[in-house]
Structure 1
Amino acid sequence: MTSAADRASAVELIDEARANGARLKKACAELRIAQNTYRRWKAGTEDQRPYAERPTPSHKLSAEERRHVLDLCHRPEYASLPPAQIVLRLADDHQVYVASERTFYRILHEHNEQHHRGPKAAPQPPRPKPTLCADRPNRCWSWDVTYLPTAIRGQFFYLYLIIDLYSR
């Protein structure tokens, strides 16, 4: 949403451009807004979206149901499992559907419990690749194979290159 001050500034800039001979379409395109948006902003009506009533969805879980989801995730048999497996095991073993997988993730995230869940260690950041550093001659060798084209189509020369890397 664009603030009222930014809207007024945009309308002022477009009005100035139009007074100097610019077309409305070009002036609006310069600010990346539609012509209808400019007209609505010029009318001066305030954006009512922040004040709109947003009713609670009828299918939203109650506080008790959310607590039940957390209790299920804290059980020893489910403590190390991700929500995807918890939902499946509840359905398979107990024929119970408490909430969707996404709802499990959302509730765990709200309670700051959505971290690595499982028997394995958390993933580690990749280690930097080792760099070659030769401190004296014949210490670090490298090789490469390069294909060199010839005048004959489909025929190549193979260049084997062995390099002795050393620091100076």
Structure 2
Amino acid sequence: MDQRPLASRPVPANKISEQETQVILAVSNEPQYASLPPSQLVPTLLDEGIYLASEASFYRILKAHNQLHHRGRSKAPTKTGKPTSHTASGPNQLWSWDITYLASRVKGQFYYLYLFEDIYSRKIVGYEVHDRECGELAAELVQRCMLREQSFNKPLVLHSDNGAPMKALTMKAKLEELGVLSSYSRPRVSNDNPYSEALFRTLKYRPEWPSSGFAGLTEARDWVENFVVWYNEKHKHSKINFVTPAQRHAGQDGGILLNRKKVITAAKKAKPYRWSGDIRNCEPVGSVTLNPDDIQSESDQAA
């Protein structure tokens, strides 16, 4: 092979000629084809018994002639913007809420669990089970949650996804009346509400979860009530250093963790040979951020 940089080389036999290039451009811009990307256009032409070039050649030629823009009637894909971040340094500053289906024993029939969670403490601050999904029920519940938590006249952000009840006019009006700032997941982004999703996952993976469904609305409500008591009062949550949500919500986590540290330190002093490194982490978890810059860290925090 002649490797001299200035040597003239024969044109490859498979190179598309200028005339063929112009035909490809003309066909690509015909009205019936103008909306089709090459991945659709080439098969369409083949169905008509026409082969001009490969799909890759169509892409290359259209790109070279600055015609490889979005083709079609739909909007061009856009990058999803960075979501707004919210940080909670204490309870009742940042809540998350969502609705999940609870299957009944009747095929196709569901009950709906409305659940509000404090992101800082992970405490369930409000919940109800209904036989329908609507903004009016959610609006009534959030007001009761705030009354129970005495969180009126305090800055509170409420995060949710973009479901119909979340954006219902009744719910929006109630939040505005209560002075609550709404925060929503980005459209078509499935992991922007990780705290509620993680909580529902915990709920549905409990050993006593009725896999065959609930016999009725009363049974569903009783089951959820028992779960909430367990979750808030007994469940030592791994993401808040194994204190219960109720303990952290009440500001007791610092004292509990300090006491643990004293116990472990004394044990290490008594039998130092049993430790090869530092003692267990007994520091309280600090502030919690919704939609941090590091998305992976949020998923880790919420799990």
TM interval, short-chain normalised: 0.5 to 0.7
Match of 1:86 among 35, 41, 45: 41
Alignment match, 2:137: none
Structure 2, unpaired ranges of 5+: 95-117, 124-198, 203-233, 237-243, 250-286, 289-303
SS in 1 for 2:235: strand
Report how far residue 84 of structure 1 moved: 1.4
Match of 1:161 among 245, 266, 283: 245
Matched, 1:101 2:178: no
CA RMSD of aligned residues (A): 3.1
Alignment match, 2:76: 122
State the structure with more CA Rg.
1
Matched, 1:63 2:147: no
Matched, 1:110 2:194: no
Alignment match, 1:30: none
Q: Percent identity?
A: 39
SS in 1 for 2:41: helix
Report how far residue 110 of structure 1 moved: 1.0
> Counterpart of 1:62 in structure 2: which amino acid?
S
Q: Aligned partners of 1:136 and 1:85: how far apart in 2?
A: 54
Q: Aligned partners of 1:116 and 1:68: how far apart in 2?
A: 21
Higher relative contact order (CA 8 A, sep 6+): 2
Report how far residue 128 of structure 1 moved: 1.4
Structure 1, unpaired ranges of 5+: 1-47, 148-156
The CA deviation string for residues 141-162 of structure 1, in whole angstroms up to 9 with x for no partner, is: 31177x9xxxxxxxxx831426
Q: Aligned partners of 2:55 and 2:79: how far apart in 1?
A: 27
Report how far residue 77 of structure 1 moved: 1.0
Alignment match, 1:49: 4
Flag the 1:69–1:123 CA change in 2: closer, same or farther, 3 A: same
> Counterpart of 1:104 in structure 2: which amino acid?
F
Q: Aligned partners of 2:57 and 2:92: how far apart in 1?
A: 61
The CA deviation string for residues 77-110 of structure 1, in whole angstroms up to 9 with x for no partner, is: 1111101111100111x21111111111111011
Worse overlay, 70-79 or 116-125: 116-125
Q: Aligned partners of 1:161 and 1:49: how far apart in 2?
A: 74
TM-score (norm 1): 0.54
